């Protein structure tokens, strides 16, 4: 594994890239022996610095859980990242495009937990029992590392490319709808760009939470009561530019709209 000095140096480079709205080179090119565990160590350092500066952790995101996303990135296993309170927007928000880099939007469901989930051996039923409600969400992706040729090591180090989360629509209990069949239509500037069903996420969106709870246990961490978890995208990432309006129609679960300035 990489030593602590190298991990801190990578975290510094990523922090500077975020500040300058730029990208650094592929970590896998500079550190060819870098492992997944190294990349989570980099992410943990980023999270630690954020909390030390006063940012409030409110949840986690899961990425690369669906075939469309895996095909879009060339990566074949899920990953996760941390969400801070200052990264959350409500539907109807106007978002400053310039604060992100490589800006794309994905369609997801967010699970809000009422109970702790502590792995290992968390099951689908455990997740459903621990969920207070599910609500439509958009994830805004932002890349601090070059995108061409990146591997899961690069993506995890980059906090799974999280930029922001937009919440909206209608919260529902897990037994109020068939979560597998929740669908969404994704529009950019009134033109439909993509659509999908939540079953594209590991056959059931709650299975992403199962994976996350058990993966966190490997790193000595848990999902806390009250956390919001982005379960993974069931559409391909859609590029957005300044001036674009994004609209996601979840049918009976309502809509989310935001505009990038």
Q: Which residues lie across from 167 on neighbouring strands?
A: 90, 137
8 Å CB contact between 223 and 216? yes
Spatial separation of the C-alpha atoms in residues 153 and 146, rounded to whole Å: 12
Range name among 12-21, 69-78, 228-237 with the lowest pLDDT average: 69-78
Spatial separation of the C-alpha atoms in residues 239 and 97, rounded to whole Å: 11
How high is the pLDDT of residue 117? 98
Spatial separation of the C-alpha atoms in residues 84 and 99, rounded to whole Å: 15
Angle between the N-to-C axes of helices 4-20 and 36-52, in degrees from 0 to 180, rounded to the nearest 10: 60
Domain count, the chain: 1
Domain with 231 in it: 4-260
Spatial separation of the C-alpha atoms in residues 186 and 194, rounded to whole Å: 5
Q: What is the pTM of this model?
A: 0.93
How high is the pLDDT of residue 125? 97
- Is 78 exposed, middle or buried, given 0-12, 13-18 or 19+ CB atoms closer than 10 A? buried
The residue-averaged pLDDT of 233-245 equals 96
How high is the pLDDT of residue 68? 61
Sequential DSSP letters for 75-125? --S-EEEEEEGGGEEETT-EE-GGGSSS-EEEEEEEEEESS-B--SS--HH
How high is the pLDDT of residue 75? 65
| pLDDT per residue as tens digits for the range 26-67 | 999 999 999 999 999 999 999 999 999 999 999 999 998 876
Q: Identify the CATH number of the domain in which residue 198 sits.
A: 3.90.850.10
């Amino acid at each position: 594994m990489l030593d602590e000095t190298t991990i801190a140096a990578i975290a510094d480079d990523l922090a500077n890239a975020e500040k300058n709205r730029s990208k650094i080179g592929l970590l896998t090119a500079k550190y060819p022996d870098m492992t997944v565990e190294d990349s989570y160590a980099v992410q943990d350092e980023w999270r630690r610095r954020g909390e030390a500066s006063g940012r409030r952790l409110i949840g986690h995101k899961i990425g690369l859980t669906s075939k469309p996303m895996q095909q879009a990135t060339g990566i074949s296993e899920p990953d996760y990242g941390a969400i801070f309170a200052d990264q959350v927007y409500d539907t109807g928000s106007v978002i400053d495009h310039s604060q992100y880099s490589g800006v794309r939007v994905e369609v997801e469901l967010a699970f809000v937990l009422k109970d702790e989930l502590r792995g290992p051996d968390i099951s689908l039923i455990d997740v459903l029992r621990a969920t207070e409600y599910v609500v439509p969400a958009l994830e805004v992706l932002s890349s601090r590392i070059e995108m061409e040729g990146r591997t899961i090591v690069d993506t995890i180090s980059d906090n799974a490319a999280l930029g922001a989360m937009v919440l909206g629509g209608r919260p529902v209990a897990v037994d109020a709808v068939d979560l597998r069949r929740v669908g969404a239509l994704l529009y950019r500037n009134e033109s439909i760009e993509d659509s999908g069903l939540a079953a594209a996420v590991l056959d059931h969106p709650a299975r992403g939470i199962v994976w996350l709870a058990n993966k966190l246990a490997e790193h000595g961490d848990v999902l806390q009561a009250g956390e919001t978890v982005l379960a993974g995208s069931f559409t391909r990432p859609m590029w957005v530019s300044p001036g674009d309006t994004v609209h996601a129609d979840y049918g009976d679960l309502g809509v989310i709209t935001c505009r990038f300035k």
